[in-house]
Amino acid sequence: MISRLSAISLNTFREAVRDRVLYNLIVFALVLVAGAPLLGQISIDIEQLALINVGLSAISLFSVVIAIFIGIGLVSKEIEKRTLYTILARPVRRWEFIAGKFFGLLMTLVANMALMTAGFYAAMLVYQHHLTGADARLLIAVYFTILELLMVTAITLLFSSFSTPIFSAVFSFSLFAIGTFSEDLRNFAALAHGATKWFSTVAAYAVPNFASLNVISQVAHQQPINGRLILFNTLYALLYSAAVTAGAVLIFERRNLK
Amino acid sequence: MKANYRARVVAALLLITMGAGSVLALRKVESVRGREATLEEVLYLPSGKTLKRISLGYSGLLADIYWTRAVQYFGAKHHQHATRYDLLYPLLDITTDLDPHMIPVYQTGSIFLCQKVPEGAGQPEKAVILLHKGIRENPEYWRLYFTLGFVHYMDLKDYKAAKDDFETGSNIPGALPWMKIMAARMAEHDDIETAITLWRAVYEITKEDSVRDSALKHIVSLQADALIEELERRIQTYREKTGSLPGRWSDMIHAGLLREVPNDPTGSHFKLMPDGTVDVQDATQFPFLGEVRTNKN
């Protein structure tokens, strides 16, 4: 089982890194990071702040875009090219295929993140001429972005398991946008009454919570991040992505591929 | 087939348990971040005008969200009996930048701002700035002049400005006639009846529960104040007649100065104090008791 999973994951990774769109997005993100000090220069006293805000935001946003654009084609492309039938004809179970795709995409995204983070720190080095211990704190925001990607990957895979690439992209982006406002949804639930309260509370917990994973402003202002927040965010992202991937498996198991 | 069935069952179980687990983990995340997690981010946003530009035209929606946040912020602080409401005015300012025609923000938001701590933020000057902004953007809405007059009269004790506000508001087409009456009454500083009328109008205008609750408490306190004023006047009459203070209410009844033991607006008997003053049984029912009488003295 492990060998089958790793084979699918590695193949997904290899296929993804051959995609030219991926490189275009990474280069664009790196150009944005490199250009961040320019934004600081047309303002007053926010050069470093602008570099951190623009850099970390670019890494986060482009990673999400990459996750969705690669993720939406993971299943449908295999069906379109009819390679899925060859894979499933071997002793590979459907859940192994989905899990393998999930880990493969995650590997790709983490590799991209590493590349973009290296670019970000290089820009910091050029701007500041040196890196300090305090700059390592920025890695918490990067880590939270990886947790965010864990959830986005699972969501994209869920939609990809039953829908067309274009609809998967629309659904995934919509859910990402809703997830960034999930705390407002919860605030709304707290104010509502009766059935509206019940419905909005369920909706608030069903949609992903990306708001708590965005600590870019805090790290940019050198505010401490609570260790318990790191722990519970990790737990939340792992459990949520596992639940969504299980949903994707459930749908894909029942899907008629004939 | 059997393996497929097993995979489905395991996936369904995973979906349920992991889903439930994620809800529990999210609740932990929320408890670590605290109630004000979303509000803290507001501080990093430069201004409502910038927000409006980056809202891609959805500024109305964003204004709704910010107003909700302002109400949540005030509610949470009020519940904690906080003495500082640093984010309240920036939130209201951003909301009205996003949607300058959102009248409830000016009306209710200014009441949040002007009331004394801990009932409100204790920032009547900021309330005036917010109301001037509202009037600038919505000159046809006469009720904003009422609220401005209310803040000038009740909190800033600027009676001339209050008179001008009521007068200007009364000249706007559609303004109710009592605006002119209010303008005329502004000459009587710290008048209990005027204060009751103003708080009644606030109670009728606003839909926000905390403001309505505060307005009711003010009205009840002011009614008790009016009764205490009258009772103390009669006690002085008794003293002039008999040369001593009454020991109990029955002395006043026998002297023909009262028909029965007087009750406060909640129905409890007033307390007759040894020094000839009058007090209520339960002061917690009248949190604003004596405010106007103290100002008068």
pLDDT of amino acid B128: 97
Q: What is the mean pLDDT of residues B154-163?
A: 90
How far apart (Å, rounded) are the C-alpha atoms in residues A220 and A212? 16
Taking only the tens place, the pLDDT of each residue in A13-69 is: 888 777 766 777 777 777 777 776 666 565 555 677 778 888 888 888 888 988 898
Give the mean model confidence (pLDDT) for residues B246-263: 91
User: What whole-number distance in Å separates Cα of residue B22 and Cα of residue A236?
Assistant: 5
- pLDDT in the model for residue B278: 92
pLDDT tens sequence across B189-218: 677 888 888 888 888 877 777 778 888 888
Pull the structure tokens for residue A79: 């069906």
- Residues of chain B with Cβ-Cβ distance to A253 below 8 Å are 4, 7-8, 11
Domain span at residue A242 reads 2-254
Contacts of B96 (CB under 8 A, 6+ apart): B48, B63, B102, B105, B106, B130, B133, B134, B137
The tens digit of pLDDT for each residue in B76-133 reads 888 888 888 988 999 999 989 988 888 889 999 999 999 888 888 999 999 999 999 9
A239 touching B, CB under 8 A?
A: yes
Q: Cβ distance A98 to A161 under 8 Å?
A: yes
> What average pLDDT does the structure give for chain B?
85
Q: Which of A208, A188, A211 is nearest to A200 (CA)?
A: A188
The pTM score is 0.62
Mutate to test the interface with A, among B15, B39, B91, B95 (most CBs of A within 10 A): B15
State the pLDDT at residue B102.
86
* Domains: count for chain A: 1
Task: Please indicate whether, in this complex, the C-beta atoms of A191 and B71 are within 8 angstroms of each other.
Answer: yes
Distance in angstroms (rounded) separating the CA atoms of residues B50 and A254? 49
Beta carbons within 10 angstroms of residue B249's beta carbon? 19
Structure tokens at B205: 């205008």
- pLDDT tens, position by position, B173-194: 998 888 888 887 776 667 788 8
B46 pLDDT above the threshold of 70: no
Q: Which parts of chain A sit beneath pLDDT 70? A: 1, 20-21, 36-46, 257-258
Paired with B271 in beta bridges are B279
pLDDT at B96: 92
Tell whether the model's pLDDT for residue B165 goes beyond 90: yes
- Chain B interface test: which of A43, A151, A249, A251 (most B C-beta within 10 Å): A249
> What interhelical angle do A138-160 and A165-180 show, nearest 10?
140
